[in-house]
Amino acid sequence: MARTRAVGRRDEAQVAHVVEKFASLFETYGFPRMSGRILTQLMVSEGPGLTAGELAEALQVSPAAVSTSTTYLLQVGLVEKLRLPGERRDRYHLPDDAWYLATASKDALYGRIADIASEAVAAVGGPRTTAGERFDQMRDFFEFLEREVPALVETWHADWASRHEPPR
């Protein structure tokens, strides 16, 4: 069952409010605020991405702030750089599967956290100490995520694809 896209009149003040609201939410969970603003600005854009200058203008910030924050977004896989034929400037855009790719790519991080938690269990005197029990549970949790998240993300991807028509 595919959803149809209702096209309505865009309310730029409300769009700006949404950008700031998401940035604030992302910041609450440790995401850099400017990166959250840029990510959301790219999400609300209708074109093939935005140049650094367009992002700076839309967000009323300096190009340097955009540069630093887009580097972070590129590193975590939420944004890609592209250059359209005939253009001299790079554009930043969201990959089609931005959330999916960013989440699926974290399984290596989960394994690293689990490995260090195992070291911590030994360092604090073993799993029968209070601190050891905490690290033991942390290790088990991240090992669980490492095993389960990739399959969960694949299930979501298949579910989403089954409910949406492919682009024509």
CB atoms within 10 A of CB 19: 21
List per-residue pLDDT tens for the chain, 168 residues long: 444 455 678 888 899 999 999 999 989 988 899 999 999 999 898 888 999 999 999 999 998 899 999 998 998 888 999 988 888 889 999 887 777 767 766 667 788 999 999 999 999 998 999 989 999 999 999 999 989 988 888 898 889 889 987 665
- 106 and 156 both lie in a single domain: yes
| Closest C-alpha to 99, from 30, 5, 26 | 26
Residue 32 lies in a domain: yes
36 touches 72 (CB < 8 A):
no
Domains held by the chain: number: 2
DSSP H or E stretch at residue 15: helix 12-28
Residue 116: which domain range?
Answer: 101-163
Residues 144/150, Cβ–Cβ less than 8 Å: no
83 and 34 assigned to the same domain? yes
If you search the block for the tokens 């995520």, which residue do you land on? 145
Q: What is the pTM of this model?
A: 0.71
